[in-house]
């Protein structure tokens, strides 16, 4: 026999080594993902949800955002986010029409009218 290594045995060793390295990387990624989800409290799902957005103009929208216990009415422009109003989550659920589980359109337009009635137009001055 000559002194050259057996190519099949060397190939199997290389594939086995690669498999071990990949398994270690996947286990490490799984551990990091578990650790970060426990730390942020995101294990139960998303805690912040955008319920609805209404386009007002160029780079200007009004959005309903649900956070635990409250629904926020936010004015969003190109460079700012302003809190317009805060609603209790149970009030939002009561005001929703029974057939429309995901649409807040009528409620959002009513809230916008209430907010807008506090501002005076130039014509009224």
Give the residue from 71, 53, 73 showing the smallest Cα distance to 116.
73
The radius of gyration of the chain's CA atoms, rounded to the nearest angstrom, is: 28
Please give the pLDDT value at position 104. 55
Task: Indicate whether 57 pLDDT > 60.
Answer: yes
The 8-class DSSP code of residue 101 comes to S
pLDDT in tens, 6-18: 888 888 999 999 9
Give the whole-number percent of the chain exceeding pLDDT 90: 24
pLDDT in tens, 100-123: 445 555 566 666 667 666 665 555
* Distances from the Cα of 37 to the Cα of 11, 40, 49, 67, 74, angstroms: 39, 5, 17, 18, 27
Using an 8 Å Cβ cutoff, are 65 and 54 in contact?
A: no
Please give the pLDDT value at position 59. 87
Task: Indicate whether 5 pLDDT > 90.
Answer: no
* Distances from the Cα of 45 to the Cα of 7, 51, 78, 121, angstroms: 51, 15, 29, 44
Task: Indicate whether 44 pLDDT > 70.
Answer: no
């Amino acid at each position: 026999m000559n002194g050259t290594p057996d190519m099949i045995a060397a190939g199997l060793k290389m594939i086995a080594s690669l498999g071990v390295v990949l398994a270690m990387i996947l286990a490490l990624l799984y551990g990091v993902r578990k650790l970060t989800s426990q730390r942020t409290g995101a294990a139960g799902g998303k805690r912040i949800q955008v319920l609805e957005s209404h386009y007002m103009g160029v780079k200007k929208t009004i959005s309903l955002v649900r956070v635990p216990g409250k629904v926020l009415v936010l004015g969003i422009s190109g460079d700012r986010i302003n809190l317009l109003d805060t609603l209790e989550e149970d009030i939002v659920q009561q005001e929703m029409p029974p057939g429309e589980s995901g649409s807040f359109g009528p409620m959002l337009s009513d809230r916008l009218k209430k907010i807008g009635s506090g501002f005076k137009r130039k014509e009224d001055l």
